[in-house]
Amino acid sequence: MRLGPPTIQHLYVTLLQDGLAPATVRRSAGILHVALEAAVERGLILHNPQDNTTPPRVPKYQPTVLPPEQIIHYLDDACQNATPSLYALYVTAATCGLRIGELLGLPEGAVDLSGHLLRVNRALIDAGATPVYKQPKTDSGARTVLLPDTAVDAIRAALVWKKQQRLKLGAAYRDAGVLFCGPKGRPLNPSNIRNRDHLPRLVRLDLPRTRLHDLRHFHATFLVARGVDPRTVADRLGHASPSFTLATYAHASTRAQAQAAAIANELLTKNGTSGR
């Protein structure tokens, strides 16, 4: 079989029909493209046939922003059923808007509980045997976030639990030095958090399916809905541009939409406009 553009395009269609997500197919296309480019460089083929194909578009993700009462329900359950460290991670995500990688990469020394401060300067990208971290892409990504009391209390309890685990396990405790860790001191794996704790909790509590990253959307959305200025919201999220923050994260909440509709209705009715 000749590996030409029609064959590769047919491969995309077949993978989609087999149930793979468009994002997965695009990643597979990327791997194939690298292999074919290497073949071109070695003189095995004259040109890359994939250049004349179109991988599937990945639909833009529409986050599910839970209302505050559902977030509280979620956190109450996590407080009872998750480790103190994982519960503190959820609370910090919802109240500070950090990315999951940023939360998992926080060193223990990044927090100043007496000053209610959290310094963000790296993110975890691989929680394997030798954890791999990366620095923020931009100056705005390295930032200091003011912690609310709820996050301070949760983090303080997590640090107490961490000390208890160290005493309990002795030499078996392998402290990676991260603020939020597993029972043996190692960095938390985001896939394990999602599949073993986050998603089962949503099912158990009959809550809409959301990503862990949607806690970041929740934070930004409700800060804006409560009138916090976009510059401050952008600073907490680590964005250089407030306009980007508003366009990407500040999704209108149902409650805010209802308030806007009520105000609009009041403006009309007070001026004698009929419902024609």
Q: Would you say residue 203 has pLDDT above 80?
A: yes
pLDDT of residue 100: 94
Q: What is the 3-state secondary structure (H, E, C) of the chain?
A: CCCCHHHHHHHHHHHHHCCCCHHHHHHHHHHHHHHHHHHHHCCCCCCCHHHHCCCCCCCCCCCCCCCHHHHHHHHHHHHHHCCHHHHHHHHHHHHHCCCHHHHHHCEHHHEECCCCEEEECCEEEECCCCCEEECCCCHHHCEEEECCHHHHHHHHHHHHHHHHHHHHHHHHCCCCCECCECCCCCECCHHHHHHHHHHHHHHHCCCCCCCCCHHHHHHHHHHHHCCCCHHHHHHHHCCCCHHHHHHHCCCCCHHHHHHHHHHHHHHHHHCCCCCC
Query: What is the pLDDT, as a whole number, of residue 264?
Result: 61
Report pLDDT digits (tens) over 23-79.
889 989 999 999 999 988 999 888 999 998 998 888 777 788 899 999 999 999 999
pTM assigned to the model: 0.76
Express each pLDDT in 248-268 by its tens digit.
766 655 556 566 667 666 766
Architecture of the domain made up of 68-221: Orthogonal Bundle (1.10)
> Where, residue-wise, is CATH 1.10.443.10 in the chain?
68-221
